[in-house]
Structure 1
Amino acid sequence: MTHTPFRIGVLGTHSTGKTTLLKRIEMELRGHGITAGRTGNFGRKAAELGLPKMQRHTETSTEWIIGRTIASEIELGAVDVVLADRAVHDALAYYTAALEFHGKPFDSAEVERLRLLASTQAPKYGLLIATRLDPDAPVNKQHTYDPRYRALVDKHVHQLLEEEQLEHLVVGSDATSQNGAIQTAVENALKAVGA
């Protein structure tokens, strides 16, 4: 590998437009002649392996998702821009939200170890985008999300980013916020790759 790609990571609770946002960023970048690749679908892959997810998330499933995210971002190293559909801290927020959902403490040595693992990757992201839950936005009826857990994930994502003092862009569900995030992402990427 002769260069380090610019990395854009998105995180946030489920069904808040993360994948759609990254697809739009990818299309804009390609329109500027920038190569981009997306990671993702680790929740589905974890389920195929029998690992728990959502409110049943465990330290094992969290570590597996963080590890797969890291590996996938490295595997895309030949592109100009890596678009991480769920930056590494996302898995940690899902896990701590699951702990709170079940009334379990999340100040354990295991959580701290996972937090340290995620923190090693933070400097690799040139831009982090965190979606904000809009409880009034419609959710795909095919999904049976627990609304309380969904709200807890949103809380834990934003709390974790603040606690870790990770600079990030918060994006709402409205078109103005989404379009602004896309513009910011494209501008940052173009500047980083010298286009």
Structure 2
Amino acid sequence: MAYFLGIAGTHSTGKSTFIETVENQAKAIGISVIRISDTATKCQAAGFPILENHTFESTLWIIVSVIKAELEAELSADLVLVDRPVLDALGYLEAALKATERSLTSEERSYLYDLVKNHSKRYALLLKTTLDESIPVGGGRDANMVFRRDASLEIDHVFNHLDVPYLDPNANITQNRIQRIFEKICAKKEI
């Protein structure tokens, strides 16, 4: 069984850079790693709307695609790094609904939130970045600062609403928790 580490947060907040650092650290000590990322681009390529136009269907597509990718990665990796775990998709949906003054039915909301709450228990460690508005949006990213800010706030609300624990990637304890995961993986490999 693989260990899952996910990092959530709005765009251009350092998630991919952080994941790359963890990936390099793990590989340096012989841990096999698979990184899951950029699911929204695949969602858009499949014909679903994203960002401000997210819908119940596009969000469900992303959540299910992330879960599918995690399951497939678990077959061959010790560590699965998820750049945008399932909670992230809900935050983006909530920001989109706010931006476009749309809503979900209670059944749709319950379906998505229950799915994400239950799946979140699989992550050994969840991290969440903090938006620093002084850092510019990376190339090719949505430059709508209001939506970027709302996505960040809504991701926070999703974590809090579902009572899912997370750490700040820059907190001192985070590197210690990651090292403990590495140690558990290495100990398991020695058996």
- TM (norm. structure 2) is 0.90
Q: Give me the whole-angstrom Cα distance separating, in 2, the residues matched to 1:50 and 1:23.
A: 29
CA RMSD of aligned residues (A): 1.8
Aligned counterpart, 1:191: 183
Aligned counterpart, 1:117: 115
Q: Give me the whole-angstrom Cα distance separating, in 1, the residues matched to 2:2 and 2:142.
A: 36
Give the gaps of 5 or more residues in structure 2: none
Aligned counterpart, 1:138: 136
Give the gaps of 5 or more residues in structure 1: 172-176
Amino acid at match of 2:31: I
Q: Give me the whole-angstrom Cα distance separating, in 2, the residues matched to 1:143 and 1:194.
A: 37
SS of 1:60's partner is helix
Do the aligned partners of 1:8 and 1:185 also contact (CA within 8 Å) in 2?
A: no
Amino acid at match of 1:82: V
Q: Report deviation, 1:182.
A: 6.2
Aligned counterpart, 2:162: 164
1:28 aligned to which of 25, 29, 35: 25
SS of 2:121's partner is helix
Amino acid at match of 1:29: A
Q: Report deviation, 1:101.
A: 1.3
Q: Report deviation, 1:49.
A: 1.3
Aligned counterpart, 1:73: 70
Q: Report deviation, 1:28.
A: 0.5
Aligned counterpart, 2:43: 46
SS of 1:82's partner is strand
Q: Tell me, yes or no, if structure 1 residue 14 matches structure 2 residue 11.
A: yes
- Percent identity reads 30
